Structure 1
C-alpha cells in the first residue's frame, strides 16, 4: 500500500509538528486515514477480522507515538478496532443463527455495488445483538437468561459437509461483506464526530435557565455552540470568561460570544475565586475525559473547579464521545501534559541575566514552567454532557465499556 503509507507518514509528521490543533479535527483526520487503510488493505480469506485489526493497530501505534498527549488519536483508533470486532461478531451471530449471509438482495449494496443482505433479519438487529454480547456483564445482564445462540462458538467450518464446496467459493463475498460493514461503521463514526457539537448544543435549554450567570475558561467550540444554542431558545443570561493566560484563549471566545449577541464579561484568571460566588454554573470544554471520570482541560480549570466546589457551584464538562479515553490517569500532571515555550511567560531580553547558568551549578537561576493542560479529579465534576446525554462522573466507565473492547485498551 504505497499510497496509504505515504498518507500515514504525512499525517504522522503533522502530529509531530503540532500542525493539527483541536481534538475534533485530530479525531476526524485520524478516522478518515484509518478508513483509507481499511479500504486499501487486502484481506485474506481466513481470519479477515484479525488481518484488519493488525493493520489498524500497526497504523494506530505510529499515530499515537507521534503525539501521545493528543489522546483523541488513540481513542478513535480503539473505536475503529471495536467496530471491526463488532461487525465480525455480527456476521458470526447471523451465521450461528442459521442465516445465509451470501444470499444477496438487489436492494442492498456492498462496496462494489453488489447486493448483500440479511434475509429475514435486519443488520441493525444483528448489530444490537453483537453489542450486547461484547458489552461487559452488569447486574442487569447477570439476572437475565443467556440466549442459546450466544453460547454457540462460531467457526468458519460450521455446516454440513455438502456445503463445503459452496463455502470455499463464497469466501471472497464474505470478505467483501466484512469490509463493507466496517467501512459503513467508520463512516457513521465520522458523521458522529462531525455532529457532536450540534447534539451537545441541543441539550443547552435543559441546563441554562433565565437570568443565570455562566463562568467558562479557555476557548472551546463546544462551549460556544452550547451557549449560543441556549440564547437561540430565548434564554437571557450572562457569561464570565476567564482570559486563560498565557495564551489568552478566553479573548477569542469572548469575541465570538459578543459577535453572537451574548452579554460577556472578561475577567483575569486570578479573579475566578472572587467572582465565583456570583456564578450559577461553571461550563468548560475538555481535552479528554479519563476512565475514572477525571478531566484533562486547559490550564487553570482545576483552579476553577476548586473554587466551584468551595461555593457549591455546579461544575459541568462538555465533551464529545471521541474524547472519552479508556485509560486511567497515573500522574496526569506529568504524563498527560506538555510544556510550551517559556517565551509566552517571560521576555528573554529582560530576564537574560536570570536565565544564564550561574555559580557553576549547571542549571539556570530561573525555571520557567508553562504547562498546556490541567487535570480535574472526578470528585470536583458535577455533570458530564456528551452527545449521548448527561452523565455523572461515576458513569463514565460504563460509556467506555460500550465504545471500546477490552482487548484494545493497551496498544
Structure 2
C-alpha cells in the first residue's frame, strides 16, 4: 500500500496549486485520504481510538493549513474525528453488553462492576457525542465510574492473554467500523446533488420566476430536476461579475429548454419585485446560520429581504461548518487575480510609480471571491437531509461534530 505521508504531501501540493477545486471534490478527496490514514494506522492493544484520533488530527492540520479558505477540508476532518469517537463509545457499550451476558459467578460483584461500567460508558457517551448541558452536569455519576473496573481474575497469565485477545478483537472491529462510516460519508458526498435535486418539485411551482446568481452545480441540478417534473417556470440569471459564470449557467439552462433571462448584477434590485424565489448555492454554512457564498450574493439577499422574497440556499451537508465567522482559526475570503477586473495594459501607467519602499501604488485592485450573508437574510437551507431554517443549524452541528474537535488547528500567538 502507498505510504500515507506521500499521499498527504501529494494532496497538499494539489490543494496549493488549485488542481482540486470545489467543495464537493475537495471533501471527497479529503475523506478518501483519511480512510487511507485510518486503514494503515497500526493496531495497538490499548486506546486504539486515541491513536486514530491523533493520526487524523495530524493529517488534518496539514490539510487545513494548505488551504484555510476551503472550509470543507476541516469539516470532513472533524466529521471523521466524530465518527471515531462515536464508534469507540458504541464499541464500549457492546463490550458492556457482552460482559452482562457472561458467566454468573459472583453475581453480586459482577452486577456492581457492570453498573459502574455502564455508568462510565454513559458518561463517555455524553462527553464525547454532545456538548455538556445543565442536565448532564447535574446528573449523579459516581467518581468510581470514571473507568470500568476490570474483572478480578487474580492476575493469572491466562486471564491476561484472554483480555489481550479481546482488546485486539475490539480494536480491529473499531477500525473496521470507522472505515465503513467513512465509506458512507463518501457515498453521501457523491449523492448530495441527487438528494437535494429530489426536493425541487416541493419548492418550485408552476409559472414561478426564479432568480439566481453566477454558476452553481447544485442550483443547476435543482432547476433541471424541477424542469423534468414538467414544471414550467422562468429563470433570471445574474451574470456574476467579474468572472461572469452566470453566462455559463444560462447557456446550460437554455440547452435544457428552460426560459432563461440574463441580467447584470446591478439590475438585481430592479428585477427582484418580479421574482417569486431566490435560489443560490453556497461555499459554506457557518454554525450561526450565516453563509459564505460567491461574491455578489449578499447584495441579492439584501434585495430579497427588502421585497420579502424567499431566499433559499442549497448546500450539501459537507459544507456545514461547526465554526463561527468570528473564530480566529477561520480565513473566510480569498482574493482572485486582478486581471478579472481590469486589463493591465489600460492601467499600467497608474501602477508605475517612484514611491519609497513600503508606499502603496496609486491604484489597488482587490478581487474578493466570497461574500458573507447574515442568517437573518436566509429563509431556508435545502440540504441532502431536507429543508432547515437557519435557527436549526445548531442541531445539525451537534449531530455531526464533537465539541472536542471544533478547533483542529490553533494559530500560534503573534
Instruction: Give the TM-score, by structure 1 length.
Output: 0.86
355-364 vs 284-293, greater mean Cα deviation: 355-364
CA distance in 2, matches of 1:216, 1:158: 61
Shift of 1:252: 1.4
What is the Cα-based RMSD across aligned positions, in Å? 2.8
1:331/1:300 Cα in 2 relative to 1: closer, same or farther (>3 Å)? farther
Which runs of no fewer than 5 residues in structure 2 stay unpaired? 103-120, 409-414
User: How far 1:330 sits from its partner (Å)?
Assistant: 1.7
3-state SS, counterpart of residue 227 of structure 1: helix
Task: Decide which of 379, 382, 406 is 1:385's aligned counterpart.
Answer: 382
Determine if contact 2:284/2:321 at 8 Å carries over to the other structure: yes
Q: 1:251 to 1:130 in 2, by over 3 A?
A: farther
**Aligned-pair distance for 1:359?**
5.6
CA distance in 1: counterparts of 2:76 and 2:206, whole angstroms: 37
What's 1:395 paired with? 392
Matched, 1:45 2:45: yes
Quick one: distance in 1 between partners of 2:101 and 2:372? 48
Q: Secondary structure at the match of 2:73?
A: helix
What do the CA deviations read for 1:63-83 (whole angstroms, capped 9, x no partner)?
000000000000000000000
Q: 1:159 to 1:198 in 2, by over 3 A?
A: farther
Residue pair 1:358, 1:365 contacting (<8 A) in 2 also: no
Secondary structure of 1:168's counterpart equals helix
Residues 95 and 101 in structure 1, CA contact (< 8 A), matched pair in contact too: no
Preserved CA contact (<8 Å) 1:134 1:405: yes
Residue 211 of structure 1 deviates from its aligned partner by 0.3
Q: Is residue 373 from structure 1 mapped to residue 370 from structure 2 by the alignment?
A: yes
- Could you tell me how far 1:2 is from its partner in structure 2? 6.7
What do the CA deviations read for 1:319-340 (whole angstroms, capped 9, x no partner)?
Answer: 11100001100289x9310111
Counterpart CA distance in 2 for 1:298 and 1:42 is 42
Provide the residue aligned with 2:238 in structure 1: 242
Q: Do the aligned partners of residues 229 and 168 (structure 1) sit closer, same or farther apart at CA in structure 2, a change above 3 Å counting?
A: same
CA radius of gyration, larger in: 2
Task: Pick one of 345, 351, 359 that aligns with 1:349.
Answer: 345
**How many Å separate the matches in 2 of 1:37 and 1:231?**
42
SS at match of 1:401: helix
Retained in 2: the 8 A contact 1:246–1:344? yes
Structure 1 residue 212 corresponds to structure 2 residue 212:
no
2:221 aligned with 1:225, yes or no?
yes
Residue aligning to 2:287: 291
Which of 153, 163, 180 is residue 176 of structure 2 equivalent to?
Answer: 180
**What are the Cα deviations for residues 143-186 of structure 1, in whole angstroms up to 9, with x where unaligned?**
9x9899xx96553x633527544112332222211100000000
| Counterpart in the other structure of 2:130 | 135
TM-score, normalised on structure 2?
Answer: 0.86
The yes-or-no answer on 1:24 pairing with 2:24 is yes
